[in-house]
Chain A
């Protein structure tokens, strides 16, 4: 196992990477008009972190990323959206990993749950049930994003060598 100080350094690197991805994401306009819903690029970092450092460190990295991202380039509203998305995604990924899904299934669960959580937040913001009519499209987009994310995370975890980190 890597030393605690090494783990903390890696956490910092993941947080920074997550912040950059979150920033890039703010320029990507979702083709579907559901307010506040984002594609969840930073989930790549969550998957990588979950596989290399385990659940507890991933929770810390996720909370740091979401909080810093809201302070640096977000708003209280975007904080609620990203926290809901990231937290439900992480919970689902943790479950999927324990249920022995591969990194693809894990990242798929994360992406789909991320979109479900953000749609739920949009529902509370707008208080209109019609928001949920967009959910199927968001789940399809999330499925696609999740498989791509799984592919990228798989390569990254391999390159970085999950055992030696």
Chain B
């Protein structure tokens, strides 16, 4: 019987540890039901998705972002950025989904147990 050699063991250990570590980093917030808002790279606040609220932000270049949390989801209600990509993203409510307003430097990310429904997309 061939046994694993040293190379195998090092490779397997490194890959398994990296995968386990990234799993923990990616999924440690699962089960929460929150939305995190980052402005210019730092956390502006973390809000409960089930509590309706409006968040007013003045981001980079003086760009105004009005974010609304309602009906268990979040969306960019108003932004005076060029392009309006953030507004067009619409409502998000699934885990790791995000809205980005690049001109204002705003990032909105959902952390919830509700996983994206890929089956519906591929069918």
Contacts and interface: CB of A to CB of B under 8 A. Distances in A.
28 contacts: A35-B118, A100-B7, A101-B5, A102-B3, A102-B4, A102-B5, A102-B7, A104-B8, A105-B4, A105-B7, A105-B11, A108-B8, A108-B12, A122-B118, A126-B121, A128-B116, A130-B95, A130-B96, A130-B116, A133-B26, A133-B95, A133-B96, A136-B26, A139-B18, A140-B19, A140-B23, A143-B12, A143-B19
Contacts of A103: 2
Given A35-B119, A105-B7, A128-B116, 11 more contacts: A33-B118, A100-B7, A101-B5, A101-B8, A101-B11, A104-B12, A108-B11, A136-B23, A136-B26, A139-B18, A143-B12
A137 B5 CA distance: 25
Contact of A130 (B20, B23, B27, B97): B97
With a 10 A CB-CB cut-off, give which of A103, A122, A128, A136 has the most chain B CB atoms. Answer: A136
A21 interface: no
A102 B122 contact: no
Interface of B: 1-5, 7-8, 11-12, 15-16, 18-20, 22-23, 26-27, 94-97, 115-116, 118-119, 121-122
Contacts of B20: 136, 140
Nearest to B116: A130
Interface of A: 33-36, 99-105, 108-109, 112, 122, 125-126, 128, 130-131, 133, 135-137, 139-140, 143, 147, 154
A154 B4 CA distance: 11
Contacts of B119: 33, 35
A99 B10 CA distance: 13
B22 A136 contact: yes
Contacts of B16: 139-140, 143
Given A105-B5, A126-B118, A133-B26, A139 B11 contact: no
A100 B7 CA distance: 8
B15 A139 contact: yes
A113 B115 CA distance: 25
A101 B121 CA distance: 40
Nearest to B23: A136
Given A102-B5, A105-B5, A147 B12 contact: yes
